[in-house]
Amino acid sequence: MNTKKIKTYRLVIKGKVQGVGFRHWFSNLAISLGLNGYIQNQHNKCEVEAIIQGDKESILNIAEKSKTGPELAHVEDVIPSKIVNNATYSGFIVKYDNK
């Protein structure tokens, strides 16, 4: 991957997204798109947060697909924001707490 094309975004996905397999669905999709980063539940029980890093086309693709999510999810909103930092992620993981 050309490092000049690598972008980092934070996605906050709101709705019925906890307890429905959303994180694992998202992780599998991220890996298939060649994205790096992580996804985790938020404490308020109706949000997950993903930090994703990769090419802009793949990031836009996963953000769009997240508007639907897996079968049992009911997504109300997907809020993307670009992150400017020097962190480089390797692989994609599901975090089980947000500490």
**Domains of the chain and CATH, by start:** 3-94 (3.30.70.100)
41 is catalytic: yes
| Residue tagged active-site, from 2, 10, 28, 41 | 41
10 is catalytic: no
The DSSP bridge pattern shows strands 36-41 and 92-94 to be parallel
| Residue tagged active-site, from 23, 28, 44, 86 | 23
Whose CA is closest to 32, among 72, 92, 75, 83? 92
What pLDDT, on a 0 to 100 scale, did the predictor assign at position 5? 85
Give the span between the Cα atoms of 74 and 94, in whole angstroms: 20
pLDDT value at 99 more than 60: no
Q: What percent of the chain has pLDDT over 90?
A: 83
